[in-house]
């Protein structure tokens, strides 16, 4: 992980702690001084090179059915949390036949366009700028793969 990516991840974890995201296994959020990270009690950020990159790993033995991450509804990227923007809501209402993936893409692009003004900025800057999965291949790459497999 680069220094820049590490500092962005640290900023994301601080923001997440501030809004109430926590991996603390205790039943209620503690009233003590808030941590600078929402993780460390049950989970840590880790890199899984064989499984696509960054993710969460257990940092202690977990029990089946145990709650290991609390995320307030306000922190979720949901239709209700994004479509309070009247311009975006109007745009979506004009195109009711969009698929859920298309709607998500439009909402993500609208948030990215807000830059630092987006509530989800600290999360959005950590999303990959490109993907190398099959749905994102160009025609040339698809044809090359098909020839290789034949």
- 81 with 61, same domain: the answer is no
Final residue belonging to a domain, choices 42, 75, 108? 75
Final residue belonging to a domain, choices 58, 75, 92? 75
What's the full length of the chain, in residues? 150
Instruction: Indicate the pairing of strand 43-48 with strand 53-58.
Output: antiparallel
* pLDDT tens digits in sequence order for the chain, 150 residues long: 666 778 888 888 898 888 899 988 775 555 454 566 788 888 988 888 777 677 888 999 999 998 899 999 988 988 788 888 888 888 888 998 988 888 888 888 899 999 999 988 988 888 877 666 666 677 777 777 776 665
- 11 with 60, same domain: the answer is yes
pLDDT confidence of residue 33 = 47
Evaluate whether 74 touches 81 at the Cβ level (below 8 Å).
yes
The reply to whether 149 falls in a domain is no
């Amino acid at each position: 992980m680069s220094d820049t990516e590490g500092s962005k991840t640290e900023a994301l974890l601080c923001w997440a702690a501030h809004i109430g995201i926590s991996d603390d296994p205790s039943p209620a959020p503690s009233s003590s001084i808030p941590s600078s990270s929402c993780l460390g009690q049950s989970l840590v950020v880790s890199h899984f090179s064989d499984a696509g990159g960054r993710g969460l790993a257990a940092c202690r033995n977990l029990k089946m059915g145990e709650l290991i991450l609390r995320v307030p509804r306000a922190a979720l990227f949901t239709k209700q949390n994004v479509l309070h923007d009247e311009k975006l809501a109007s745009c979506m209402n004009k195109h009711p036949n969009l698929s859920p993936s298309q709607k998500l893409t439009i909402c993500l692009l609208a948030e990215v366009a807000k830059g630092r003004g987006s509530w989800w900025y600290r999360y959005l800057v950590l999303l990959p700028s490109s993907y190398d999965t099959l749905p994102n291949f160009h025609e040339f790459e698809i044809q090359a793969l098909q020839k290789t497999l034949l």
